[in-house]
Amino acid sequence: MMLDYTQYDALGLAQLVRNGDVSAGELLAAAKARLHRFNPLLNAVVTPMDALAESLLDKLDGKGPFTGVPFLVKDLMLRFAGFPMSNGSVAMKDYRPAADSSMAAALNAAGLITFGKTNTSELGASSLANNAAFGPTLNPWDLRRNSGGSSGGSAAAVAARIVPMAYSSDGGGSIRLPASYCGIFGFKPSRGLNRFEDLSQAWGGAVVAHALTVSVRDSAAYLDLVAGNTVSGYSLSNPAIDTYLYAATQAPKPLNIALINHSPISTAVHRECLAGAAAAATLCESLGHVVTESAWNFDG
């Protein structure tokens, strides 16, 4: 394979497969090479799924939006038949679901080549990826630090470019926190957009599934996939006007943005966080948006 695997996002890799520039098997080999190199340092992937990956390669038809893209999934409440689903818990470490969930089936049908499960906090209930079943997942930028949680294994794997995107889930920040810690893109969609959602009852509906990605357009295209917006001949170069991928290519109109520098529960906010928010506000203003310092409109 005469290309730099790490320089492409998921849609870019899928296009290479469609064009015949590279095979899905070659991409999987590149992903596994990076897994072998970095996972001993990071502890991002805790369960191999090689048998599934080989079966997906054999059945690949080239029609899915992410055809041939190596993929990892968070080991939390996502059932793949015959593979362990520990939920980051010693008590469930040996549990193997008997059937795929609708979300797992949708990912398989999208052309993604899933080859492993990533570490999480126990039951997804912590802002750190650290549990008694598998231990902590470390941050690719600084091995003295955690990758964040609960989707820390997925975030570390994407940040280390083992894969360009990985399945994640978020209730109170479990996508957004590790994305911030690891310097990648994290987005929590509104509830109900994912029509394959396995988590619709978790935390009273507050938990949703999505993906951690290296690019915004991958996140938009993934949302199209799970929301059912993909159409026959899903086009990267000319996306349909009613897709999130199309929306991600359009310059936004001026927005009114609230800058809130106080915790909703009256705890201290670290000065580096305040500085980061101020820098983001300045950037937004330079792009033509209106930023107004505001206060919470509820009692935390």
What amino acid positions are annotated as catalytic residues? Answer: 74, 150, 174
Whether residue 111 contacts residue 49, with contact meaning beta carbons closer than 8 Å, is answered with: no
CA angle 155, 242, 163 (to 5 degrees): 20
Strand boundaries in the chain, DSSP class E = 45-48, 70-74, 113-118, 138-139, 142-146, 165-170, 208-213, 256-259, 290-293
Pairing mode, strands 208-213 and 290-293 = unpaired
Region for residue 214 given its phi and psi (left: phi exceeds 0; alpha: psi -120 to 50; beta: otherwise): alpha
Report helix, strand or coil for 208. strand
Pairing mode, strands 142-146 and 165-170 = unpaired
Element (H, E) at 59: helix 50-59
Q: Which of 99, 106, 41 is nearest to 73 (CA)?
A: 106
Alpha-carbon separation of residue 114 from 16, 69, 74, 117, 258 (angstroms) = 18, 8, 11, 8, 39
Report helix, strand or coil for 177. helix
